[in-house]
Amino acid sequence: MKKILFRKILFDCLKFFIVTIIGTSVIVWVFQAVNYLDIIVEDGRNYQVYFKYTMLSLPKIISKIFPFAIFISFFYIFSKYENKNELIIFWTHGITKLQVINFFLKASLALLLFHIIFISFLVPFTQDKARSIIRESNINFFDSLLTPKTFNDVIKGVTIYTDEKRADGSLKNIFIKKTNNDSEFEITFSQTGEIKNLNNNQILVLYDGKNIKGNKTNLDSFSFSKSDFNLSNLETNATTYKKTQENSTFELINCYLALEDRKKKKENKFNVENCRSDNLSNIFGELYKRFIIPLYIPILILVSLILILISKERSNYIKLKLLIFLFGLFIIIFSETTLRFVEDNLLDNIKLILLPFLSTIFFYSAISFKLKWSVYK
């Protein structure tokens, strides 16, 4: 009977948790999806790219909401059980409050492990996949981005100007400047032009113009009657390089080992993108986010379990309940703000790493002492 009771309350908590995290994630995703419209409006990507990119952002949203959903779910279920006197069933079957706390502390470890796996492997994988979609996609709506009599710098390293864009899609008096680096440039003038789709590639066909290529020492030019400018191989100004948060956990750990070997002048076989000494604080921050911040989950569950320690018959029950709720929110916010204090050295981060462990021990000890003291009295 005891196992059935424990399973029931845990099932209720998890069921409400799933509803909470799905509902909240969808709401946040909708708002973010609106912000991602820049992928279409400014970068000229198609709707398929937009849909894939926004869908791949869902795991990141879920990982952010996860601790909040955990606390809200357990707080709500414990509050509900207390208000409806359903916890009395536990006490009448010989289950002590300390046994309930021990059971949910063990359950919190399973949720903690799941969150670490989710945020350490699935989230960076989907983030990297989303970036690769942007990187590999073609600019399919370039013609809709061209505004007459305006210098358009949507494409990375390329500025395009046209005097007129006619109803048939043709362009008049076109200016294109392309820069490869600080010293090399290419300028193209054309009287007319049009955008064509050839083999799923967008080509800007230029007529009757002149091309000028140069650098700091040389300058070459030639005239043409027709020239093709491939738009599909170009990148927009959207970030297409890999960010630290998109590296896998193994890559981040290998990067740290590589940098340590570099300090000791040892050879290291690992080659990780963004693995630079000046990026070490970001690497530590990302590893901290994946392995340490989830350790606050047991604390959140212990805080919600305080509800079973106080009687609803107390005159200040509502105030105490509100204080417990606010305290749980404070812990969620605090766990995120600790990220600001992460240093680029492992030893300097020991205090931050130990903090959730020590806090869990403190809360568990305080609750246990409270229960034992109540029995003693």
- 124 and 74 inside one domain: yes
- 70 and 124 inside one domain: yes
Task: Give yes or no for residue 89 having a pLDDT over 90.
Answer: no
- 261 and 353 inside one domain: yes
- 247 and 222 inside one domain: no
Closest CA to 62 of 106, 107, 32, 38: 32
- 74 and 147 inside one domain: no
Q: Read off the pLDDT of each residue in 87-112 and give the average, rounded to a whole number.
A: 91
**How many structural domains compose the chain?**
2
Task: Give yes or no for residue 249 having a pLDDT over 60.
Answer: yes
Q: Which band of pLDDT confidence, cut at 50, 70 and 90, is reported for residue 110?
A: very high
Do the domain assignments include residue 354?
Answer: yes
d(CA 144, CA 333): 43
Provide the pLDDT for residue 147: 75
Strands 219-230 and 201-214: antiparallel
- Per the prediction, the chain carries an average pLDDT of 84
Closest CA to 324 of 294, 302, 297: 302
- 132 and 254 inside one domain: yes
Highest mean pLDDT among 37-41, 93-97, 286-290: 286-290
Provide the pLDDT for residue 376: 52
Do the domain assignments include residue 83?
Answer: yes
Do the domain assignments include residue 237?
Answer: no
- 22 and 125 inside one domain: yes
Do the domain assignments include residue 30?
Answer: yes
Do the domain assignments include residue 235?
Answer: no
* Cα–Cα separations (whole angstroms), residue 348 to 284, 289, 291, 342: 11, 16, 16, 8
**Reported pTM:** 0.77
Do the domain assignments include residue 256?
Answer: yes
Range in 3-7, 121-125, 229-233 with the lowest mean pLDDT: 229-233
Q: Which of 204, 230, 256 is the endpoint of a domain?
A: 230
* Cα–Cα separations (whole angstroms), residue 258 to 159, 253, 276, 285, 349: 40, 9, 10, 17, 19
Q: Read off the pLDDT of each residue in 96-125 and give the average, rounded to a whole number.
A: 94
Range of the domain at 340: 2-136+242-376
In this structure, the dihedral spanned by the alpha carbons of residues 5, 6, 11 and 16, taken in order and rounded to 10 degrees, is 100
- 102 and 250 inside one domain: yes
- 284 and 303 inside one domain: yes
- 356 and 287 inside one domain: yes
Which pLDDT tens digit goes with each residue over 330-371?
999 999 999 988 887 777 789 999 999 999 999 999 988 888
Do the domain assignments include residue 166?
Answer: yes
- 154 and 224 inside one domain: yes
Q: Read off the pLDDT of each residue in 257-286 and give the average, rounded to a whole number.
A: 69
Q: Which of 173, 204, 230 is the endpoint of a domain?
A: 230
Q: Which of 230, 257, 288 is the endpoint of a domain?
A: 230
Do the domain assignments include residue 163?
Answer: yes
Task: Give yes or no for residue 45 having a pLDDT over 70.
Answer: no
- 131 and 148 inside one domain: no
